[in-house]
Structure 1
Amino acid sequence: MQNDAENLNAIAEWAVSLMETLGGPGVGLAIALENLFPPLPSEIILPLAGFTASRGTFSLLEVLLWTTVGSVHGALVLYGLGALLGRERLRRIVARVPLMKVQDVDRAEAWFARHGSKAVLFGRMLPLVRSLISIPAGIERMPLMRFTLLTAAGSALWNTAFVLAGFGLGEHWHVVERYADVLQLLVIVGIGAAALIFVVVRVRQRSRAKMVS
């Protein structure tokens, strides 16, 4: 618990320093970096920015604007990484990964073709996923304008919820993190369960193939 409190204080001090030094753009920079480095939690930075706005350091509209701009810029960097990686390079990587098949890439591509827009929009409102979803969008070369608009819309909803919570809670802005931690835990458990099911199914498939051969 003490380590968690120390980490919270360190991140809060860093974010406050950026805001004091750079003003509104500092808030945007903090959120852009959070997109690139998920261990920097937006669930701390956004409520703190809302609290700062409640003290009159920034206007609420200014905070909402800069946090959304920061989110979009961070997402565009990851989109660029995905585009740089590319489909063929991804296939070569997957072909070398145990329990993975190139056909998995084909299925993922087909899924993204059907649901990519919804994945980008709603993925921006889930911890961890909100950063990672930009990479497959880049790999699949989702039209850049569509990606930017969907990212801006999803980010604006996520940012507004946390900024307003911090604005309303004032000095108790850090309470938001407790509820955000629950959401993050649910996402991690869901991803872990899906990965476990995938591994079990793939191991069984290989065992059956060996028995047949």
Structure 2
Amino acid sequence: MTIEALIARYGLGALLLGAGMEGETVVILGGIMVQRGTLPFAGAILAAAIGSFIADQLFFAAGRRFRDHPRVRRWSAKPAFARALTAFERHPTLFVFAFRFLYGLRTVSPVAIGTTRLPLARFMLLNGSAALLWATIFVSIGYWFGHGLSELIGRWLPSWQVLAGGGVAIPLLGGLTWWWRRRG
């Protein structure tokens, strides 16, 4: 089985996991794969949105359920956590919708929001809407720039599929390594 066939078979699953763990880089790569015809456009958007939604729901649940746990307390002592809470208190709805677009606040924000009294149903609605918009934007960016990138990289490498597979596998492995080290 070729690498392209493997990506075609497992691509949406890898995109779902990568969107939740790595974020924009994997989703843009998914858009490039859409442009190449390896993944369906709507499927890539849906997989990226679901992956991002699930990750943020899990972080929100961690903040809600474990707000007094030492790990959450360590996070709450960081400046980014305080910035997230301050922004949330000023504009709760806007912040829940926008945090995934704010560099440096992407992971800590749902944990911080989970420590507040925001109802779960409201967070889920805003999180789902924002995840869908975010996925659409970044898959589209990958799609629009995919042709130019394919041409450029195609001149340098004999197999674009190897690069695409590595572009998905490396961030996933890096994310898993980071997560494993943070656990211990």
Does residue 169 in structure 1 map to residue 150 in structure 2? no
Name the SS for the 1:124 alignment partner: helix
Question: Is the 1:24–1:58 Cα contact (8 Å) retained in structure 2?
Answer: yes
Counterpart selection for 1:134 from 110, 123, 131: 110
TM norm structure 1: 0.55
* 1:54-104 superposed Cα distances (whole Å, 9 cap, x missing partner): 122221111111100110000011111111232x668xx58xx7xx9xxxx
Question: For 2:39, which of 32, 55, 58 is the aligned residue?
Answer: 58
Q: Does the CA-based 8 Å contact 1:19-1:25 persist in structure 2?
A: no
Choose the corresponding residue for 2:21, options 33, 36, 50. Answer: 33
Matching residue within 97, 113, 117 for 2:93:
117
Question: CA 1:130/1:66 → structure 2, altered by over 3 Å: closer, same or farther?
Answer: same
Structure 2: which 5+ residue stretches go unaligned?
153-184
1:77 has 2:58 as partner: yes
Give yes or no for contact 2:45–2:135 (8 Å, CA) kept in 1: yes
Q: How many residues align?
A: 142
Match of 1:47 in 2: 28
User: Is residue 18–residue 27 contact of structure 1 (8 Å, CA) maintained in 2?
Assistant: no
CA offset digits 1:142-179 (Å, max 9, x no partner): 2112111211222222222221111112244599xxxx
When residues 29 and 121 of structure 1 are mapped into structure 2, their CA distance, relative to the original with a 3 A threshold, is: same
The letter for the 2-side match of 1:22 is Y
Q: Which has the higher contact order (CA 8 A, sep 6+)?
A: 2
Q: Is the 8 A contact 2:20 2:52 kept in 1?
A: yes
Describe the SS at the equivalent of 1:58: coil
CA distance in 2 between partners of 1:165 and 1:136 (Å): 29
RMSD between aligned alpha carbons?
3.3
Unaligned runs of 5+ in 1: 1-15, 35-41, 176-213
